[in-house]
Chain A
Amino acid sequence: MMLEVEGLASRYGRIPALSGINLRVGEGELVSLVGANGAGKTTLLRALSGVQPVSAGRVHFEGEDITAAAAEKRVRLGIVQVPEGRQVFAPLSVEDNLRLGAYLRSKAEAAESMERIYAMFPVLKQKRREPAGALSGGQQQMLAMGRGLMALPRLLLLDEPSMGLAPKLVEEIFACVRALKSAKTTIFLVDQNARAALAVADRAYVLETGRIVLAGSGAELLENEQVKEAYLGL
């Protein structure tokens, strides 16, 4: 297993946000996490990235215990997150945003990745001198994905990549996720668009008020009555 989480818990002050989280992501897998607003999805991803304190449990990445590792150490190991709400460096140029994505990589690696990302998202190349804040929502999402890919992720954490985007752009983003999957990138995906997130996933987990309540293959969960009722609106 590439990522193994055992008994993970996290809290905001005295309010528990996550408890007893067990999950695994294997190399090359695409694993989705679905759940309602406020279930703790973002908190879980932040805990995996080391920017949210953990109060109990263990996290192993490729056999190494990283429970207490600093955020930059995890990026160095290859755990890279594309955060919710895009979080681009708004006043900095598109190119600077991408370059900073490869902050821990060598100059040569950065230049190579940048060419690849410009090929994947040509619009970013066109706008490379513009401030990131001037891009449309969809372009900012591409930039956020591109910035994440610049770090040469071994495990890519995607938090709500389709949030707030027009349906056509949502389709584009999921096409991009499928492309990354077929290129053997390991992905842990969180999205409120449960149908799309389950359809694209090898396996998935359902998170409710800080606990994992269901697990299974993407196809199984799509057929699950509970999931249908709560998340697919059927």
Chain B
Amino acid sequence: MSPQFVQYLLTGLTVGAIYALVALGFSIIFNASHVINFAQGEFVMIGGMATVSLVAVGLPYLLAIPLAIATAALVGLALEKFAVEPARDASVVTLIIITIGASMFLRGLAMLVWDKNLHALKPITGDKPIAIAGATILPQSVWVLGVTLAIVVALSWFFGRTLLGKAMLATSHNRLAAQLVGINVRMVLFLSFGLSAALGAIAGILIAPITTTSYDVGVMLGLKGFAAAILGGLGSGIGAVIGGLVLGIVETMSAGYLSSAYKDAIAFVIILVVLFFLPSGLFGKRGGERV
């Protein structure tokens, strides 16, 4: 492997891991409600921007990061409580439109609360590149990959081993049966928004030192995460992770070997190709629902 290839691969994995976190957020809410939450990108933005503000007032990362994640989670919970829950009997399409509106609202609010400038966060541990096989990787990329891995492990423990996690999964597979065993499905949806928002915020914080952050960073990251979720198969956890990594790598490779002008177009080409040829994605449920 040429050092150049290794370099693209490492960069691709880093951005891919961020897309994977955003895609996981999409999938968790989709599972709880079949709603595609287009405000997912705003959680990413809130995570990054809130950390910038908290660091600016002098808080160390150790406090600023958990506070920023909690802020985003609270915004996610509030979004569910005040925008989605009151319309819970409406159709899924209506709910999706509500999330689009919420995303515009949050972006506008962010512009007022903060500003329109780009902000860079300091890397968590220095910025001296580490050499690997002729290529280099930033310490921040190691953080991105490590934290993403830890989150994937934690989520598979949560959904595979805990009763609450299994109840959330059960709700996604059969909402009626979940209600009949006494699972509070409204609570599941509420928790899903909080969890998704926290995941988005983590993504936003991790990527901010590498790409900078601003009030509208959620638009592109949200769409990329959506593309990753579609590629992996909406609702599939493993699909979200693989979809994110594949998208990140393909994007970086095409930027490196073809032209960086088309970098952002890759995600949309992938959405189109997947929808045409593989509508349920790589790991999604096949076929229609059985009645």
Contacts and interface: CB of A to CB of B under 8 A. Distances in A.
Interface of A: 49-51, 70-72, 75-76, 80-81, 83, 87-92, 96, 99-101, 103-104, 147, 151
B174 A89 contact: yes
Contacts of B170: 89, 92, 96, 100
B166 A96 contact: yes
A104 B182 contact: yes
Given A92-B169, A92-B170, A103-B167, A87 B182 contact: no
Given A92-B166, A100-B166, A100-B167, A151 B182 contact: yes
Contacts of B183: 72, 100, 103
Contacts of B167: 100, 103
Contacts of B174: 87-90
Interface string B155-179: 0000000010011011001101111
Contacts of B179: 49-51, 71-72
A72 B176 CA distance: 12
B236 to A, nearest CB: 11
Contact of B177 (A72, A88, A151): A88
Contacts of A100: 163, 166-167, 170, 178, 181, 183
Interface in B77-127: none
Given A89-B170, A92-B169, A96-B166, A103 B176 contact: no
A87 B166 contact: no
Contact of B182 (A72, A88, A92): A72
Chain B interface size, as a band, is 10 to 19
Contacts of A76: 182
Q: Chain B interface secondary structure, helix, strand, loop or mixed?
A: helix
B184 interface: yes
Q: Which of B163, B177, B178 lies at the interface centre, i.e. has the most chain A CB atoms within 10 A of its CB? A: B177
Contacts of B176: 51, 83, 87
Contacts of A104: 181-182
Q: Which of B167, B180, B182, B184 lies at the interface centre, i.e. has the most chain A CB atoms within 10 A of its CB? A: B180
Contacts of B177: 83, 87-89
Contacts of A92: 166, 169-170, 173
B289 to A, nearest CB: 11
B182 A49 contact: no
A88 B163 CA distance: 16
A101 B181 contact: yes
15 contacts: A49-B180, A51-B176, A51-B180, A71-B180, A72-B183, A83-B176, A87-B176, A89-B169, A90-B174, A91-B173, A92-B166, A92-B173, A99-B166, A100-B166, A100-B178
Contacts of A71: 179-180, 182
A75 B173 contact: no
A70 B166 contact: no
A105 B180 CA distance: 14
A80 B184 contact: no
A115 to B, nearest CB: 18
Nearest to A82: B180
Contacts of A91: 169, 173
B238 to A, nearest CB: 13
A89 B173 contact: yes
B60 to A, nearest CB: 40
Q: Which of B167, B170, B182, B184 lies at the interface centre, i.e. has the most chain A CB atoms within 10 A of its CB? A: B182
A71 B173 CA distance: 18
B177 to A, nearest CB: 4
Interface string B178-207: 111111100000000000000000000000
